[in-house]
Amino acid sequence: MKLTICHPSALKENLAGCGHWAYLDSSFQEYERVRLTLGEQATPLCSPQAFQDHVAASRREISAWIDDNLIGSDGNSVLLTPLTRSPFSPLFSELVWLRVIDNFLIHQPNNLLVITGSIGLTRALENHCQAKGICCYRVGYPHLFATIAKRRVRSLLKFCRDLVHAGVKAVLARQLLGKAQIRRVLDADILVDTYLYPSDVKADGAVIHRYYPGLIDWYLARGHKPAYLPTLFRVPLRQLPALYRGYRSSQYLFVPMELFLGFSDIVWGVTKVATRALTGSKLPRPFIFGLDMSAIVEAESWGAGIEGLPQMLTKRATKSMVEAGMHPKWVLDWFENQSIDQALAIGFREALPDCRLIAMRLYAQYSSNLLSFQVTNREREQGLVPDEHWMGGEAWLDVATRLDSHGGYKVVPNLRSSYLYKQQVMLGEGDDLLVLLTHSLQDTVQVLVLVGTLLPVLEKLFPVIRIKPHPSLGRDQLKKVMSDDEYRDLFLSRAISWEESGISTLMAKARLVVSAGTSSAIEAVAMGNPVVLVGAQVGIDMCPLEFVDKTMWRIAYDANQLKEAILAWSPDHPLSRVERMEIGRTILKKCYAPVSEAEMEKFSLE
C-alpha cells in the first residue's frame, strides 16, 4: 500500500496508475483538469455525492471539536483563530477528507493518489502515514513551496490593502464628515448594522434600504432616533467622497465606524494581528476522528492572524464610539455569526454592558452544512453573540437552534422578502430557463460550465436562457474567468440573455430555474418554479432546499445529471401550476414571515 501526495501543478498522466485518486482542494476548474488528466485509468476515491454524505456524518463532531479547543479563549484569540465552522473555510472540508482517507487506508489498503496544494493537509497526511507505517511519497516539492509563498504574499497583500483602506477611510471621514456628523448621531438610541453596496447611498442623500425596508421609518414614527451602522461591501476608495456626502445630506443617520478610529486605534489593531500571525495557534485538543489535526491548524494560523485586521478594528471602533459619547440602548446586528459579527458583539459588551444586542437574521438560508450560522452554547457563554435572535421565518428556527439551548429566538417579519406575497399571486407559467448565479465564484463557474456544456440541448428546450449574475460577480468579470473557447457561446449566443432585472421580474418569465447554494432557490420554489440545484463537485454543498418537497427540486453534480433533470421536467413539470403554487404558498409561509402593520409590532424594543 502506497500513498502519493501530488501538487496539482505537478500532476502527470503517468500517475494515473496509482489506483484510486482524490482531489482535496476547492477549485472546480482545477478539479476538471485533474479528472481529465487521470481519465478512466484511475478510480475516484468517492463521488461528490458520497463526499457530501461524509460531510453530513462529520459536521456535529467537527463543531464540538472546535468548541472544545476554544473554550476559555479570550475575545482577541477567538477573532483571529483559524478554527472556524464556516464551510467556506478550507478547514471544514480538509477535516472531512482526512477522515475519508483514513477510513480508506484502514478498510481498502490499496494505492491512493492525493492531489492537493495544501501544506497543512500534506503535512497531516505525512504524519499520519509515518504513525501508521504507510509508505508515503510527495510529488511536486517546488510547486508546494511556491504555493506556500503565494498564499503568504496574498495574505500579506490583503493585510496591506485593509490597512490602507482603514487609514484612507479614517482620514476622509474626518475631513468630509468630521465633528458635525458625530454631533448629529451622538444621541442615536438604536444602531442598525447593515451592509452597504456602492449604489445604496447617493450623493444627494437618497438611500436604498436593502436589508431593512421600512424599519428605520417605523422606528422614527415611534419616537426613536435610529442610525445605520454600515459595513461597506466592495465600495472602492474613489467612491468614498460621494458616499460621505450622501451620509451628510441624507435625512437618515449613518454612523461610519471609521469616523471614530484614530491612528492609535489602527496601530493597536496592527499590533494584535501581527502578534497573532507570528505566534500562531496551538490546539489544546488536537485529535478528532482519532487523527491529529495540528498540522492543518498551524498551516492556517498565519493567514487567519494577518487577515484579521477588519474585525479587530470593528471591536476597537465600538470602544472609541462610546468614549466619544455615544450610548445606544439597542444594537441590531445583521448577524451571520462571522468573526466581524462576533467582533461587534464583543466590542459593545466590553464598552457598553447595558446595551441590548439583537441578532437580525432576516434571511432564508437553511443548509445544515452552514455550521457557522448555528450559534453554539460555547459562543453564547463566551459572549460572542447577542442574547436575542430575531428570525425572518419559522422554518429557520429548527436549524438555528440545533447547537444552542439558551433560547431567545423569535420570528419577526421578513422585510426583504415582503414582495414575494404579491408576486406569488401575480405569477403565471413562463417559458424560459432562468439561471441564478451566486456570490461564490466556484459555484458560479460550475453552473456556467454545465450550462455551457448543455447549451445546444437547452437552446432547443427554451426560447430564452436568462442568466442572472450576483451583484458582486458581473458579466464582464465572469467573461474573463470563462475565457476558454468552448464557453464563448455563453456570451455570444442569441438564445442567452444576461439579466440585471430583479429576480421577481425574471421569475414571472421562467418555467424552470437552475441555481446553486443560494437562498434565491427558495424564492423560486415559493413562486411555484421547479429548481435544479448544481451540487458542489469540490468543497461542501450549500443546499438551501433540504426541507422542501422533493417534487419541486433535484440536485445535479455533472452535465449528464443536469440534462436528465431538465429533460424529466420538459416540456412540462409532472405537477400542474396550481399544485406547484400550493406547495410554494406553504414554503412562503414557513420561510418568509409576512409583513403587516400588526406584525411590525414584533420589532418593538420596549
> Does the pLDDT of residue 349 top 70, yes or no?
yes
Reported confidence tier of residue 208, pLDDT bands at 50, 70, 90: very high
pLDDT at position 17: 65
Rg (alpha carbons) of the chain, rounded to whole number: 25
Lowest-confidence pick of 109-113, 349-353, 354-358, 521-525: 109-113
> Does the pLDDT of residue 606 top 60, yes or no?
yes
Reported confidence tier of residue 385, pLDDT bands at 50, 70, 90: very high
Pair 168, 240: CB distance under 8 Å:
yes
pLDDT at position 177: 97
Phi, psi dihedrals of residue 497, rounded to the nearest 5°:
-125, 115
Reported confidence tier of residue 403, pLDDT bands at 50, 70, 90: very high
Q: Residue 398 in 3-state DSSP?
A: helix
What number of other Cβ atoms are within 10 A of residue 297's Cβ? 23
> Does the pLDDT of residue 415 top 90, yes or no?
yes
Residues 6+ apart with CB under 8 A from 597: none
Q: Residue 357 in 3-state DSSP?
A: strand
How far apart, in whole angstroms, are the C-alpha atoms of residue 494 and residue 444?
21
How far apart, in whole angstroms, are the C-alpha atoms of residue 493 and residue 67?
51
How far apart, in whole angstroms, are the C-alpha atoms of residue 446 and residue 3?
29
pLDDT tens digits along 324-334: 999 999 999 99
How far apart, in whole angstroms, are the C-alpha atoms of residue 396 and residue 474?
30
Helix axes 28-38, 441-453, angle to 10 degrees: 50
Reported confidence tier of residue 2, pLDDT bands at 50, 70, 90: confident
* H/E run at residue 115: strand 112-115
> Which of the listed ranges 31-35, 501-505, 545-549, 558-562 does the model predict with the highest average pLDDT?
558-562
Please give the average per-residue pLDDT across 492-511, as a whole number.
Answer: 89
Indicate yes or no: pTM above 0.95: no
- In one-letter notation, the amino acid at residue 270 is V
Mean pLDDT, the chain, rounded, equals 93
Reported confidence tier of residue 501, pLDDT bands at 50, 70, 90: confident
- The C-alpha angle with vertex 231 and arms to 218 and 150, in degrees rounded to 5, equals 160
- In one-letter notation, the amino acid at residue 187 is D
> Does the pLDDT of residue 487 top 90, yes or no?
no
Reported confidence tier of residue 238, pLDDT bands at 50, 70, 90: very high
Percent of the chain having pLDDT more than 90?
Answer: 79
Contacts of residues 236-242 at CB distance under 8 Å and 24 or more positions apart, as own/partner, are 236/198, 237/165, 237/168, 237/169, 239/198, 240/168, 240/169, 240/172, 241/172, 241/176, 242/202, 242/203
Lowest-confidence pick of 33-42, 437-446, 518-527, 593-602: 33-42
Cell output for 332: 441590531
Cell output for 261: 478610529
Please give the average per-residue pLDDT across 103-132, as a whole number.
Answer: 92
What number of other Cβ atoms are within 10 A of residue 236's Cβ? 9
CA distances from 81 to 277, 375, 436, 483, 495 (A): 10, 17, 34, 37, 48
pLDDT tens digits along 21-64: 999 999 998 999 999 888 887 899 999 999 999 999 999 999 99
Lowest-confidence pick of 320-324, 366-370, 403-407: 366-370
pLDDT at position 428: 62
> Does the pLDDT of residue 273 top 80, yes or no?
yes
> Does the pLDDT of residue 427 top 70, yes or no?
no
Percent of the chain having pLDDT more than 70?
Answer: 98
**pLDDT higher at 422 or 273:** 273
Cell output for 217: 421609518
Q: In what order do the strands lie in the sheet with 43-44?
A: 43-44, 20-23, 112-115, 2-6, 135-139
DSSP string for 188-222: --EEEEEEE-TTSB-TTS-B--SSSTTHHHHHHHT
> Does the pLDDT of residue 559 top 80, yes or no?
yes
- Could you tell me the maximum CA-CA distance found in the chain, to the nearest angstrom? 74
pLDDT at position 504: 80
> Does the pLDDT of residue 425 top 70, yes or no?
no
pLDDT at position 398: 87
Reported confidence tier of residue 297, pLDDT bands at 50, 70, 90: very high
> Does the pLDDT of residue 16 top 70, yes or no?
no
Cell output for 228: 445605520
pLDDT at position 420: 84
Reported confidence tier of residue 424, pLDDT bands at 50, 70, 90: low
Secondary structure in 3-state letters for 542-605: CCCCCCCCHHHEEEECCHHHHHHHHHHCCCCCCCCHHHHHHHHHHHHHHHCCCCCCCHHHHHCC
pLDDT tens digits along 449-484: 999 999 999 999 999 999 999 888 888 889 888 877
pLDDT at position 166: 97
Cell output for 441: 465564484
Reported confidence tier of residue 426, pLDDT bands at 50, 70, 90: low
How far apart, in whole angstroms, are the C-alpha atoms of residue 355 and residue 256?
19
Residues 6+ apart with CB under 8 A from 106: none
DSSP string for 119-155: HHHHHHHHHHHHHHT-EEEEE-HHHHHHHHHHHHHHH
* Nearest partner of 254 among 191, 212, 325, judged by Cα: 191
**Cis peptide, bond prior to residue 226, ω within 30 of zero:** no
